[in-house]
Amino acid sequence: MIHLALVLSLVSLAPQDVDEKSNPFDGLRWSGDQPEVQVDGTWYKPVAIDGIGVEEILIIADGWSPGREKRFAEDLVPILVRLKWKGDAKVDLDLRSLKDGSAVRLEDVEMTRAKRQALRASRNARESSGARGPTPPARISVEDARADIEAFGAGLKDQFAYLGLGEVDLDRELAQIRDGLTGDQADILDLRLELHRLLMRFGDGHAQVRTKLPLDQPGDKYLPFLLVESSSGVVAVLPDRSALVEPDAPVVRAIDGKTIDEWVQLARPYVANGSPQLVRRRVLGDMRRIDDVRRILGAETSAPLKVTFSKVDGSETVERELELSSRRPTYGTWPRSESVILDGDIGYLRIAKMDGAVDELREAMEEFVDTKGLIVDVRGNGGGTRELLLALGGYLIGPKEPAVVGNIAQYRLSRRFDEDHLEARYMHRVGWDGWNDRQRKAIKSVAAAFKPEWQPVGEFSAWHYLVLDRTGHAAEYFYDLPVVVLSDSGCFSATDIFLGALELLPRVTLVGAASSGGSARSQSFRLRNTGIEVRCASMASFRPDGRLYDGRGIEVDVEVLPAPGDFLRAGGDAQLKAALERF
| β-sheet with 533-537: strand ranges across | 208-210, 533-537, 522-526
Same domain (yes/no): 308, 361: no
pLDDT per residue as tens digits for the range 17-26 = 688 889 999 9
The pLDDT score that the predictor gives to residue 68 is 82
- How many CB atoms lie under 10 A from the CB of residue 155? 20
Instruction: State residue 423 phi and psi, 5-degree precision.
Output: -60, -35
Nearest residue to 465 (alpha-carbon basis) of 505, 393, 533, 409: 409
CATH number, domain with residue 422: 3.90.226.10
* Residue that terminates a domain, selected from 72, 101, 128: 128
DSSP label at residue 225: S
Q: Residue 135 in 3-state DSSP?
A: coil
* 376 close to 351: Cβ distance less than 8 angstroms: yes
Cα 290 from Cα 215, distance rounded (Å): 12
Angle at alpha carbon of residue 75, lines to 74 and 78, rounded to 5°: 160
Same domain (yes/no): 387, 317: no
Cα 11 from Cα 28, distance rounded (Å): 23
Distances (CA, A) of 343 to 10, 180, 482, 567, 583: 30, 64, 16, 22, 12
DSSP 59-102: HHHHTSTT-HHHHHHH-HHHHHHHTT----SEEEEEEEETTT--
Q: What is the pLDDT along the chain (583 residues), one digit of tens a residue?
A: 433 333 333 344 456 568 888 999 999 998 877 899 999 988 999 999 998 989 888 888 876 666 788 889 999 998 998 888 888 889 999 998 888 778 899 988 999 998 998 888 887 776 655 544 455 579 999 999 999 999 999 999 999 999 999 889 999 999 999 999 999 999 999 999 999 999 999 999 999 999 988 888 888 999 999 999 999 999 999 999 999 999 999 999 999 999 999 999 999 999 999 999 999 999 999 999 999 999 988 888 888 899 999 999 988 999 999 999 999 999 999 999 999 999 999 999 999 999 888 999 999 999 999 999 999 999 999 999 999 999 999 999 999 999 999 999 999 999 989 899 999 899 999 999 999 999 999 999 999 999 999 999 899 999 999 999 999 999 999 999 999 999 999 999 999 999 999 999 999 999 999 999 999 899 999 999 999 999 999 999 999 999 999 999 999 999 999 999 999 999 999 999 999 999 9
Helical segments of 160-247, H only:
170-179, 188-200
Q: Indicate whether 214 belongs to any domain.
A: no
Same domain (yes/no): 405, 365: yes
Same domain (yes/no): 482, 370: yes
Q: Indicate whether 176 belongs to any domain.
A: no
Same domain (yes/no): 454, 527: yes
Q: Indicate whether 159 belongs to any domain.
A: no
Cα 181 from Cα 185, distance rounded (Å): 8
Same domain (yes/no): 385, 501: yes
Cα 515 from Cα 495, distance rounded (Å): 8
The pLDDT score that the predictor gives to residue 214 is 85
Tell me whether the omega of the peptide bond preceding residue 402 falls within 30 degrees of 0, making it cis: no
Distances (CA, A) of 513 to 276, 349, 353: 12, 18, 18
Distances (CA, A) of 60 to 11, 501, 503, 520: 14, 21, 25, 16
pLDDT per residue as tens digits for the range 28-59 = 998 877 899 999 988 999 999 998 989 888 88
- How many CB atoms lie under 10 A from the CB of residue 529? 20
Q: Indicate whether 356 belongs to any domain.
A: yes
Same domain (yes/no): 253, 389: no
Q: Indicate whether 355 belongs to any domain.
A: yes
- Residues across the chain: 583
**For 313, how many CA atoms within 13 A lie in the half-sphere containing its CB?**
1
H/E segment holding residue 502: helix 494-502
Angle at alpha carbon of residue 97, lines to 96 and 102, rounded to 5°: 70
Nearest residue to 126 (alpha-carbon basis) of 267, 30, 243, 232: 30
DSSP 265-295: HHHGGGS-S--HHHHHHHHHHHTTSHHHHHH
Farthest-apart Cα atoms in the chain, separation: 73
Q: Indicate whether 100 belongs to any domain.
A: yes
Helical segments of 102-234, H only:
113-128, 142-159, 170-179, 188-200
Q: Indicate whether 200 belongs to any domain.
A: no
* Residue that terminates a domain, selected from 296, 322, 348: 322
Cα 92 from Cα 107, distance rounded (Å): 4
CATH number, domain with residue 246: 2.30.42
Same domain (yes/no): 508, 401: yes
Rg of the Cα atoms in the chain: 24
Nearest residue to 501 (alpha-carbon basis) of 579, 416, 406, 570: 406
Same domain (yes/no): 355, 301: no
Where are the extended beta strands (E) located within 240-399? 251-255, 258-259, 305-310, 317-322, 340-342, 346-350, 373-377
Distances (CA, A) of 365 to 347, 392, 395: 8, 9, 8
- How many CB atoms lie under 10 A from the CB of residue 534? 25
Same domain (yes/no): 279, 349: no
Q: Residue 49 in 3-state DSSP?
A: strand
Give the total number of structural domains in the chain: 3
Same domain (yes/no): 317, 349: no
* Residue that terminates a domain, selected from 260, 290, 322: 322
Backbone angle region of 314, left / alpha / beta, with phi > 0 → left and psi within -120 to 50 → alpha: left
CA 45 to chain CA mean position, Å: 23
Cα 559 from Cα 545, distance rounded (Å): 22
Cα 276 from Cα 173, distance rounded (Å): 24
Q: Indicate whether 381 belongs to any domain.
A: yes
Note down the domain range covering 279.
Answer: 226-322
Same domain (yes/no): 344, 317: no
- This prediction's pTM: 0.84
First-to-final CA distance of the chain: 22
Q: What amino acid occupies position 476?
A: E
CA 253 to chain CA mean position, Å: 30
Cα 256 from Cα 562, distance rounded (Å): 26
Helical segments of 211-367, H only:
260-267, 276-286, 290-296, 358-367
Nearest residue to 110 (alpha-carbon basis) of 95, 88, 82: 88
